[in-house]
Amino acid sequence: MLRIREGLFFGGVAFALVACADVNSVVGGACAQGYVQQGSDCVLAPTGTEPNPGDGSDGGLATGDAGDAGDGSDAGEGTDGSATRNDGGSQSTGTTSDPNQGVLTYCMAPEIACGGACIDPTSDPDNCGACGKVCPSNECAAGKCVGSAAGHVVVIGHDYETAPTTFSSQARVLVNAILIPASNPLRVMSYEEYADATAVTNAESLVTAEAKQLGRAVSFVSETSAATVSSSIDETTYDVLLVHDQRSAPSGTLASIGSSWQSDGRVAAFLHEGGVVVVLTGGGGTGEMPALATNADLLDVSSQAVVTGALEVLAPADAVGNGVVSPYMPKPSTVTLDTEANGGDVTWVVAQNGAPVVVHKVVP
């Protein structure tokens, strides 16, 4: 799914360098050392970006790919509904529907290249701190959105080891939860330390497929350390924390992880900054996800029970219940949750016989 257009990029740079004749104009030859081409002129290169065709540097020229932060952070690039996935390392360039694809965009700091244009991430409310980071308040200052926004916790009692059909109700509740933030591309930290690899792949594939239909792009960054999750999660880097069902965790481990997240306060801060935390739990493995959710102070869940049979959508107007067909049949290992009462900031979105399966909690 990843297509890095390095050949196009460096070819364009080479063309740009050959096109400059002297310091001030493009007549033939090359721009003088320390200068780069901008339009028909050769202009001073920013400090540290002096072009050197021999070493493959880009001389301060940035591609116009949507989502290219131009600052070393390119999480979730692409705006055509594509998805990138990174296993806890550096981000990678994804596909893009940029109408200026292949056109080199030169941006002077602090501006960065987004969608073929130079924008200022310190003040642009549609690209606040990074390309595609949308501020609900429509105000951005110093690279952060101004004003407070409610956070969201969504606990889903579905097991995704057996993949549900794309666009099915079980798929839709997950997609709705992940896509609550307006940012595009959407940046998701995916915690997978004790998760089943097949379930992770299935869940992310569902989100990718449905997001593409909505013109949304999603970047998944895999994390396999609970400590790294709490030290790295913040709203300037991520929009969503997706906690997969940690079914193979040793007994008692998830309770400890939840307690550590609660004590350091980073996940709570992420929520209070308007972040979204989605917790998946099913009937397989140790079944101790309720302890993680409770101890992390995300949602009090005292227990869960495996159920079969049709489920009912209780809150079709809720963001997580929107467009979910009711009733629907889930895949195996679905669980009901013994959790906080329905009402106020807590909404039981999907249930069976009055016992919730999908719960949405708004965090002021």
In this predicted model, which residue has the larger pLDDT, 66 or 130? 130
**243 lies in some domain:** yes
**78 lies in some domain:** no
pLDDT at 155 over 60: yes
Give helix 197-213 / helix 169-178 axis angle, nearest 10°: 80
Please tell me what DSSP assigns to residue 177: H
What total of structural domains would you count in the chain?
1
Q: How confident is the model at residue 98 (pLDDT cuts 50, 70, 90)?
A: very low
pLDDT at 59 over 60: no
Residue 272's domain comprises 151-363
| Residue 226 · residue 241 · CB < 8 Å | no
**228 lies in some domain:** yes
Q: How confident is the model at residue 116 (pLDDT cuts 50, 70, 90)?
A: confident
Task: Please write the tens of the pLDDT for every residue from 10-55.
Answer: 344 343 333 333 444 444 456 666 566 666 666 666 544 444 444 4
**115 lies in some domain:** no
- pLDDT for the residue 41: 64
**233 lies in some domain:** yes
Pairing of strands 276-280, 240-243: parallel
Please tell me what DSSP assigns to residue 28: S
| Residue 175 · residue 206 · CB < 8 Å | yes
Q: What is the CATH number of the domain that holds 299?
A: 3.40.50
**230 lies in some domain:** yes
Lowest-pLDDT range of 72-81, 210-219, 297-306, 316-325: 72-81
* CA–CA dist 147, 228 (Å, integer): 27
pLDDT mean across residues, the chain: 81
Within the chain, what is the greatest distance between any pair of CA atoms?
78
Q: Cβ contacts of residue 111 below 8 Å, gap of 6+?
A: 118, 119, 120, 121
**219 lies in some domain:** yes
As beta bridge partners, residue 238 has: none
Residues of the chain by 3-state class (helix, strand, coil), percent to 5: 20, 25, 55
pTM of the entire predicted model: 0.70
Task: Please write the tens of the pLDDT for every residue from 186-200.
Answer: 999 999 999 999 999
Task: Please write the tens of the pLDDT for every residue from 292-338.
Answer: 999 999 999 999 999 999 999 999 999 999 999 999 999 999 999 99
**75 lies in some domain:** no
Task: Please write the tens of the pLDDT for every residue from 230-287.
Answer: 999 998 899 999 999 999 999 999 999 999 999 999 999 999 989 999 999 999 999 9
Residue with tokens 């807590």: 346
H or E element: which one contains 113? strand 112-114
Phi/psi for 189 (5° steps) reads -85, 125
- pLDDT for the residue 71: 40
Residue 213: Cβ-neighbour burial (10 angstroms; 0-12, 13-18, 19+): exposed
* CA–CA dist 252, 137 (Å, integer): 41
